[in-house]
Structures are given as C-alpha cells and as structure tokens.
Amino acid sequence: MVTASAPGKVYLFGEHAVVYGEPAVPCAIGLRASVTAEKRDEGLRIEAEDLSLSGFTVEYDDDETNRPDIDVPNSLVDAAMGYVDEAVAQVREAADSPDAGFDITIESKIPLGAGLGSSAAVAAAAIEAGTRELGVELSKAEIAERAYQVENTVQDGQASRADTFCSTMGGAVRIEGDDCQRIDSPDLPFVIGYDGGAGDTGALVAGVRELRDEYDFAADTVEAIGDIVRRGEQALAAENIDEIGDLMNFNHGLLSALGVSSRTLDSMVWAARDAGGLGAKLTGAGGGGCIVALDETPETLTALEYTPGCEEAFRAELDTDGVRVESG
Amino acid sequence: MVTASAPGKVYLFGEHAVVYGEPAVPCAIGLRASVTAEKRDEGLRIEAEDLSLSGFTVEYDDDETNRPDIDVPNSLVDAAMGYVDEAVAQVREAADSPDAGFDITIESKIPLGAGLGSSAAVAAAAIEAGTRELGVELSKAEIAERAYQVENTVQDGQASRADTFCSTMGGAVRIEGDDCQRIDSPDLPFVIGYDGGAGDTGALVAGVRELRDEYDFAADTVEAIGDIVRRGEQALAAENIDEIGDLMNFNHGLLSALGVSSRTLDSMVWAARDAGGLGAKLTGAGGGGCIVALDETPETLTALEYTPGCEEAFRAELDTDGVRVESG
C-alpha cells in the first residue's frame, strides 16, 4: 500500500492569455490531494473522501452500478472518478501490468471544481501511488506527461499542461504552449478566497476568443497579459513581492476587461486589497471560483472571512515539492 | 435678470487615456446647473443653493469675509465660488464692462465634486447669464472657450477642455487634445450611481502616469482605451447601443487595470450589469465618485438604490441642448 500526494495550484499570472501562446505562471500551493493505492487481485475499487473543503464522502465501487447518494453535482463525481479511471490506465501501461487491480482511496483538501487544479493533483498522485505500489519508479517528467494524458483524455483533448506539470513539479512554473519549466520564486504568502461557485470554463474561453476576434484592442489586451507575465518572471527572480502584487492587480483588471471576472470575485479582490494584501486577482477561468492574494499578515484572511459571497478562505504557502510519496 | 443653465457630463469612453493624446467621448446629461445673473451697481454677491444632490445651501457675500456655516468641505465651497468669480471676470471682459456688478444665484442638481462636471456647467451657465444680462450674445464656441479659461485659471493651468466644451455644446462630443467636436449619438438611457465620495484626481492621474512610464503593457493599455473610443464612435454613429455597452464594460476593466477603480465603484458596476444594464463603467477620475450605466428599464436604478455604498442613484438622458437661456 502506497500513499502519494500532489498539490493544487493557483495562477499567479497569465490565465486565458496562455490559450493564445502567451506565457503563464501557475504556482503549486500547499493544499494537497492524497491517493492511496493497494494491489488487489483484479478490478478497481475507488473510495473518495473529503473531495472538497465543504466536505463530502464518496464510496464508489465500480463493480456496482449504483451511484452513491451524495450532495454534489453528479458531473463532479463523474469527473473525479473519470480521472482515477484514466490514471489507473496510465499506471497499468507504465508498469506493463495491464491486469493490475487496485483499491484506490482519495482524500483531498483541494476544493473540487474551484479552479485549483484538484483533478490534476489527483491524477498525479494516483499515478505516483499506483506505479510505486507495483514497484515502478517514474521520473517526475513521466508522471507529468502521464497526468497530462489523463486530463487530456477526460477533457476530450482540450487539457492544458499547466495544472499537471505544476502539480507534479511543484513551485512556480512557466508554461508557454507545450513548453513547461520550473522557475525561481521566493516563498509566496498566498491567501485564497473561494465563492463556492465555478464559471463555465468553455463559455468563458469562448467569450475571450470572440472579443479577441472582434476587437484589436482585445487582442492587445491578451498580449498585455503576456507582457505582465514576462515582467512577473523578472519580479519573481528578483524576489520583489511588492511588484508581484502590483502586477497581479494589473492582470486582474485586464481579465475583468476580457469579461471573465464576476461580482463576487471583484468583491473578494477588493477585500484583499483594502485589507492590505499586496495584490489580488482571480485565478483560473473566472466567472466565479477563487481569487488569490498575497499577504503575510492575517488581515486578508480575516477580511475574506467577513466578505459576503466568500464561502471559504484559507492560507496556502507556495509548495515546492510537487508530487511525493507519503508512505509505503 | 437672466437665468441660464448648462448640463453636467459623464465620460462614455476614454477618461485618463485622453491625458496622453487619445480621444475621449464625454456626453452631456440632463442634469443641470442654473445661474441667474442680475445687474447691480457694483461688486458681486453670490448665492448658491442646492449645490449637491445631498442638499446644502450657501449664502456667501463676497463683501464679507465670513465663511458660511455649512456641512461640506470648505475646499468645495472655495472651488465653487472661485469658478463664479472667474466666470464674472470673463463676462466683464466679453461685454467690455469691467465694472459691471452682479447678483449671482446658483442652483445645481449636479452633485458637486462627483466628477459630473458641475463646475464646468456653472462656469458656462454663468457666462451665458451674465453676458445676456449685459445685452451681449456670445456664440457657443466663445462660451466654451471662456468657460475653459475659467476652469483653467481655477485649476492652475491643468484643465481639460472636455467638461466645458461638452457642457456648452451638449450631446456626445469627441475630445482629442485641444480638438473638440460634437459627434452623432442616439439617445442614451444613462443611469448614474454615486458613492458620495471622490478620488484624489491628481494622485490618480499621477498613478496612471507612473504605471505608463514603468510598464510597456500599461502604455499599451492606455492605447487600447483609445482604440475603444474609436470603436465607440462607430457604434454611436451606428446607434448600436448593445455594442456601446460592451465597449463601456471593456473600458472599465482597463481603467481597473490602471488602478483607478475602487471597491464601491466596482460594486455599483456589478449591480448595474447583474440588473441587466447594457454596460457600466466608472466615469471621471475614479477612485470613488460615479459610475454610469445604460439601461432603458428601471432595473439598474433599483439595483443601485439597494447597493451598499451607493449614496445616490438617478437617471439622466443624453442632453442635446448644452448651455441655454431659461428666462430673461
């Protein structure tokens, strides 16, 4: 029996613009999904616990066709189970053990469907746990590649490498097209606010595309986000946290211009800024979900806890480990 | 005794970027300042009533040095009185009557210090009323020029021609540097929300300048606002209100990126959008003050009335008259 875990992520800079070839910088956060894999004779049994901060438990046995009785949208459960199914397929292929059976247990502190990369973390941790359980040790590069294949299969070929690479490698990473690399970063005192919702990623991406196709100034705005990312990399290398915050603020405004912010996201962003946070922006597709701010003091967390529309607020340091074996 | 009135204004597009040579489109709104001028033997007596929607009355006699006891910042009263003093100087010069004395009465429905161009309206109306009272009829072009001189004197050479030209001419106007002209526009169903505050215009303009000097992407953002204005002129000519709203939303996001929005401005902008307003943006220097939205239905007005932080909400049609004589 092997337990592995992998972190969630936030976008420090560059979401949406990354779709058009601009660079982006996601950062792994110290909020993890753990996957335990134990060999069994055949088949697959998946048990999922605490898949979101709101808390729910799934007992799901794929020998049975009954859907568990839980208070979350089926599509989320379907999605989570789909990621595990595909991760196990990758494990079997990597270990050349097409018939290997597993009991898989998932525990995650990463809110599901909040844009924090929970599915990528589950995929990476499941691949690490499953292959180790079969006595095979993969390089991080191979785990990242296979985790990406998992997401890409589940997401019908639309996945970005950002989440899986970031979750596997940890730290701040730079994504530009298919080119992914870790970059230098100081410790970053993330504070995250979550409105409990999620935007429609497909519709949000399509909305940006329409604006960009229609208006040169929207295309320029996408390019300006890329320029922010390039300046942001310099600020990370220089460990200039104040400037990183300023760039996050600017990035958020440009995302707002592109139509992907929302009332609650802006409300949380302002709570963070007014509380003295060094910078605040939405993270991910937008339309709802999470904001990320930087604040070493307790002020932003407190402000978010008292902000109407903020369902959960928590701190998360920059994670520098990526996927790792916890036991076994 | 002659009474003249002149409208306030909102920026449909382009504030801040206009400082750097980009075009901007302010629009006159059906919310007016009235000035009554009556000859007297010598000197000047100024009475101001209802200088803001919040309501206060100033009785101010410039033969006396006593400051009236009113519940508004002295700087606002000083400013309002300064505009009238300078407007009367313009009247005396235009009518070649250096010793003309006046009783001046001001009534305004334009909130003072809210970025709605109350001082420009007072200046234009005072020049029209004062010259007519002396039997002189100025062209609108001359009133606009003299009203600009009033603002420029009071504002130590820092005034823009936008407010005075717009208030004098009425309608939608295009400002680019010193070039000002009326442009075609359909009727626009403005709804305005006012948070009761005002940003520090000098600090906000300086903040944009610093960003623009430091970051190419900020300079690009300023240029993108200019591009929005140019598209906005086409949308006005085509009477495409939906697109005008979309462009206002984009413009607001870019202003947010430049650091000139605020928590209450964003809160009002989202109230308008969520209520079905066709577009919403801050108007003027930002940091506090007013937002402007477009909505033919009552929904945006109602939403703003129930939005925390919104002190006043009101409708205003596009004013097409500009300065006009009301009586006398």
Instruction: Output the pTM of the full model.
Output: 0.91
Minimum CA–CA partner of B273 in chain A = A263
CA-CA distance, A226 to A176, in Å (whole number)?
A: 10
Domains in chain B: boundaries: 2-184, 190-316
CATH topology of domain B2-184: Ribosomal Protein S5; domain 2 (3.30.230)
How many Å apart are CA B117 and CA B261, to the nearest integer? Answer: 19
pLDDT surpassing 90 at residue B169: yes
Phi and psi (nearest 5°) for A244? -55, -40
The yes-or-no verdict on residue B61 having pLDDT over 60 is: no
Check B215 against A231: CB less than 8 A apart: yes
Where are the extended beta strands (E) located within chain B? 2-13, 25-40, 44-49, 57-61, 101-108, 172-176, 179-183, 189-194, 279-283, 290-294, 312-317, 324-327
Of B215, B223, B253, the CB nearest to A256: B253
pLDDT at A76: 58
Secondary structure (DSSP) of A233-275: HHHHHTT-HHHHHHHHHHHHHHHHHTT---HHHHHHHHHHHHT
| Mean confidence (pLDDT) of chain B | 91
Q: Which stretches of chain A drop beneath a pLDDT of 50?
A: 52-60, 62-71
Nearest CA-CA distance, residue A283 and chain B, Å: 16
- Residues of B within the annotated binding site for ATP? 111-121
What pLDDT is attached to residue B75?
A: 55
Question: In chain A, which residue's Cα lies nearest the Cα of B219?
Answer: A224
The rounded radius of gyration (Å) of the Cα atoms in chain B is: 19
Query: What pLDDT was estimated at residue A46?
Result: 85
Q: Give CATH for domain A190-316.
A: 3.30.70.890
Alpha-carbon gap, residue A44 to A38, rounded angstroms = 10
From the list B62, B69, B85, B163, the catalytic residue is B163
Task: Calculate how close chain B gets to A305, using CA atoms only, in Å.
Answer: 17
ipTM of the complex: 0.90
**Is A163 marked active-site?**
yes
User: Residue A164 belongs to what H/E stretch?
Assistant: helix A162-169
The DSSP letter of residue B53 is: T
Nearest CA among A267, A275, A320, A319 for reference residue A294? A275
Say yes or no for a CB contact (<8 Å) between B270 and A266.
Answer: yes
Q: Cα(A101)–Cα(A49) distance, rounded to whole angstroms?
A: 20
Per-residue pLDDT of A139-183, as tens digits, reads 999 999 999 999 999 888 888 899 999 999 999 999 999 999 999
How far, in Å, CA of A260 to CA of B256, rounded?
A: 14
Interface mutation target, options B16, B234, B250, chain A, most CBs of A under 10 Å: B250
Q: Is B209 exposed, middle or buried (0-12, 13-18, 19+ CB in 10 A)?
A: middle
The pLDDT value given to residue B77 = 64
DSSP helix/strand/coil, B117:
coil
Q: Which residues contact B196 (CB under 8 A, 6 or more apart)?
A: B54, B311, B312
Instruction: Decide if pLDDT at B59 tops 60.
Output: no
